[in-house]
Structure 1
């Protein structure tokens, strides 16, 4: 009979070595699998902006042409890539997933944690709203710590050119659209100079990528609003903070504006937006 060394747990030395070897091989296989997955994802990242030839993919990603072709054709076989005259492009599976993600996006659910953090840091009311044709609809509000609070409530609808949040939803509109919406918000004929001044102000908002709004309704409300973009770069909702002007003062508005911008950037990233 052959004798075997046995440890305190009852396993032979030979058995222990075999187990360690199996564990090491499994870990190595897992690492290789993760590396392969990351390389495949790198390929998908490269073709987001348009078709890319396999040779260019290999050079950009530092992979061999053989590996690049193998991974690209594997992705193509599952419809994550498609082959075009200009190289590999996004496939129907990804386009389908993108459409489903857009349809199923719950903007309030995604934005709420970021809104709560912004309100906690600043003490101000934070709003999220969307565009409904020529109107803006407030979807959700996180109440701040000020004694005097903005009365706007979730569900309220306003002419889109009338509020800071509404203006943020218009930052991609052209001048013709802006003029029409501004005139309609005032419900009457306006002097050409007044319209031109408003559009010039909107150009400044567009350049900043945010709206610094002074209400002209006589309610003394100030607001800061920034658009939120989806994976296509389209404005889908806007984030804003609003308060009485004696709370939202000139000496703090710049710092607050950056915090609102950061919040909108984080929500946009959660929706798949990547600035180019």
Structure 2
């Protein structure tokens, strides 16, 4: 039998016999404080990690927001076979759009955004890069304009242009369409030098030759090359070479003829160089708008009636305009 009068035995698990020992109130408070202190210490350890994660998440969201347009463009289906073969860089295309937008006059970012249809933020980012690379430059209080790097590249490209090589396909087209002799010539002083010549399909012999020279005043290409010259220069030319004109055309008559040619954008050779030869010519301009050469269609008067010469004017002017466009005009 158990000894009722003796002290009960306390177990190691906080029980007396089968009855658990309840902790005292002071002991509960102490346990809560210890738990709170432990939790606070854990939070202090986790706070830098949590704040760092939030900061990185914010940056990622900002970057994602900046590039969302590019992401949308990349997810769009390609429209044609050409795009399948060579996907375009949207950022590069937008950079070109921005350069085009400031080519005609300086514009600020808001104006560029309106012209190109790009968002303000996109324009701001690309303009910053273009300015850094010297493709754009600030224009006082007017925004941005073309930078020195574009000028450098333009002159580099211009210096590498082989005029004869550029013009040759157009001369071939002109020859095929007319079956006549076509020329490319440039001015050197008071003379023209022939840079290229394609004989036509007709049995016609014309004395011009590649590398050969003729007077400016008596050739169709020569007159076209004079369109931008002031009247004073034309008077000087007449005084020097007016005797080469047929029927001794007066200075007043010749100046009036040149004024009409200039206004219409073409010129004739009506037998001034060779009595039997007729010619329709037009000038070529480069990226600066300067006349650098001229093209012409030539044949004998048998194949060049006044009516046919009139019909050739639009064709010769169109070819000259296309060549000028390729040269940057």
Report deviation, 1:215: 2.3
Match of 2:91 among 1, 22, 36: 36
The whole-number CA distance in structure 2 between the counterparts of 1:252 and 1:67 is 56
Match of 1:233 among 265, 289, 310: 289
**TM-score (normalised: structure 2):** 0.70
The whole-number CA distance in structure 1 between the counterparts of 2:162 and 2:242 is 32
Tell me if structure 1 keeps the 8 A contact 2:219–2:273: no
Name the structure 1 match of 2:171: 115
Report deviation, 1:268: 0.9
Structure 1 stretches of 4+ with a deviation exceeding 6 A read: 29-32
Q: RMSD of the alignment, in Å?
A: 2.5
Tell me if structure 1 keeps the 8 A contact 2:217–2:242: no
The whole-number CA distance in structure 2 between the counterparts of 1:146 and 1:208 is 28
Instruction: Show CA shifts across 1:45-66 (max 9, x none).
Output: 2222232222221112222222
The whole-number CA distance in structure 1 between the counterparts of 2:288 and 2:128 is 26
Report deviation, 1:27: 5.4
Instruction: Show CA shifts across 1:201-237 (max 9, x none).
Output: 1111111111123122452211111111111111111
Mapping of 1:153-164 within 5 angstroms? 153-164=209-220
The whole-number CA distance in structure 2 between the counterparts of 1:156 and 1:48 is 40
How many residues align? The count is: 247
1:72 has 2:127 as partner: yes
Q: What SS does structure 2 have at the residue aligned with 1:57?
A: helix
Structure 2 residues not aligned, in runs of 5+: 1-70
The whole-number CA distance in structure 1 between the counterparts of 2:160 and 2:259 is 33
The whole-number CA distance in structure 2 between the counterparts of 1:186 and 1:200 is 14
Instruction: Show CA shifts across 1:97-150 (max 9, x none).
Output: 111122221110000011011101110101001111222111100110121221
Mapping of 1:151-230 within 5 angstroms? 151-186=207-242, 194-230=250-286
Whose RCO is larger (CA < 8 A, sep 6+)? 1
Q: What SS does structure 2 have at the residue aligned with 1:141?
A: strand
Name the structure 2 match of 1:56: 111
1:148 has 2:204 as partner: yes
Q: What SS does structure 1 have at the residue aligned with 2:234?
A: helix
1:245 has 2:274 as partner: no
Match of 1:254 among 302, 310, 314: 310
Task: Give the structure with higher Rg (CA).
Answer: 2
Tell me if structure 2 keeps the 8 A contact 1:125–1:149: no
Structure 1 residues not aligned, in runs of 5+: 1-23
Tell me if structure 1 keeps the 8 A contact 2:73–2:90: no
**TM-score (normalised: structure 1):** 0.82
Name the structure 2 match of 1:92: 148
